[in-house]
Amino acid sequence: MAHKNNLLKNLNKLVDIIPDTTKIIGDTVQAAAPIVDKALDRQHEKNLSQIQVPNVIDLDAEEAKRHLEEIGFRVTLTLVKPNKKYRQETTRDNEVVDMIPKAGKFDKGSLIKLYYINQEIIDASNQEVTIPNLTGLTIPEAREHLQEVGFKPAMEILTADAKYAKQKINVVIDMEPKVNLFTTTAVKGSLIKLKYLDEETLEQSLQLASQAEENQLDVGQLFKQLPNLFGNKDVE
């Protein structure tokens, strides 16, 4: 019975608290409402004050710059580097080829970066050639292929290393520049190094690999002997 009375008292206290809590929440919401309204108003005003940046890619660089400045933006012009995508058939002198940021709404006075191309870059881009991946070809095959596409081949014998023990002689193992995600083209006439092994460096690599294997075996044998070296001895 006493337990039931205690429960009823606690329930009554909770019921008494609820109206006060509800009032506090209501007051808090009312107090916050003007702040939220002001924030929304500021965002709306900002949206109204922003200006649409048009897409000026493919336009003349000077005309694009002048137009953007007239509508309230700061503009910089940057000449791009040669690239095969800028060859003559796809671009023209002083053409905008990229812009940052892209077209959209921005605050007045924002900086717009325009990237453009000129005839000199177009001419250089026409000389850009894809670097072939020649790894695995024989040196004569790789050299002939480089000459056919307009590069100057140069041969370089690699320094002996255990990792080359399973390679073959006179076969391209590496190149410089190496073809990767960031390097895919070079200007015609560029020097391309073909790296390979001759008989001497392959023999040295095999010896290094053999020595490394023996060292591993020695370490393995040592670990096997540890229990004997540090085993318990009879105490007299």
Instruction: Give 158's contacts (C-beta < 8 A, 6+ positions apart).
Output: 164, 173, 174, 195, 196, 197, 201
Q: Indicate whether 142 and 198 sit together in one domain.
A: yes
Among residues 108, 126, 144, the one where a domain terminates is 126
Query: How many domains would you assign to the chain?
Result: 2
Domain of 103? 52-126
Q: Are 87 and 51 in contact (CB under 8 A)?
A: no
Tokens 């005003």 label which residue?
45
Q: Indicate whether 150 and 197 sit together in one domain.
A: yes
Instruction: Give 108's contacts (C-beta < 8 A, 6+ positions apart).
Output: 49, 50, 51, 72, 73
Among residues 92, 109, 126, the one where a domain terminates is 126
Q: How far apart are alpha carbons 83 and 80 in whole angstroms? A: 9
Q: What is the pLDDT along the chain (236 residues), one digit of tens a residue?
A: 555 556 556 656 655 655 655 566 666 656 656 665 565 556 555 556 799 999 999 999 999 999 999 999 999 999 998 887 887 777 889 999 999 999 999 999 999 999 999 999 998 888 888 899 999 999 999 999 999 999 999 999 999 999 999 999 999 999 999 888 777 888 888 999 999 999 999 999 999 999 988 887 666 565 666 666 566 555 44
The full DSSP string for 32-90 is: HHHHHHHHHHHHHHHHHH-EEEP--TTSBHHHHHHHHHHTT-EEEEEEPPP-GGG-TTT
Which pTM value belongs to this model? 0.50
Q: Indicate whether 190 and 119 sit together in one domain.
A: no
Beta-strand relationship, 51-53 and 104-106 = antiparallel
In a domain, 200, yes or no: yes
Among residues 126, 150, 165, the one where a domain terminates is 126
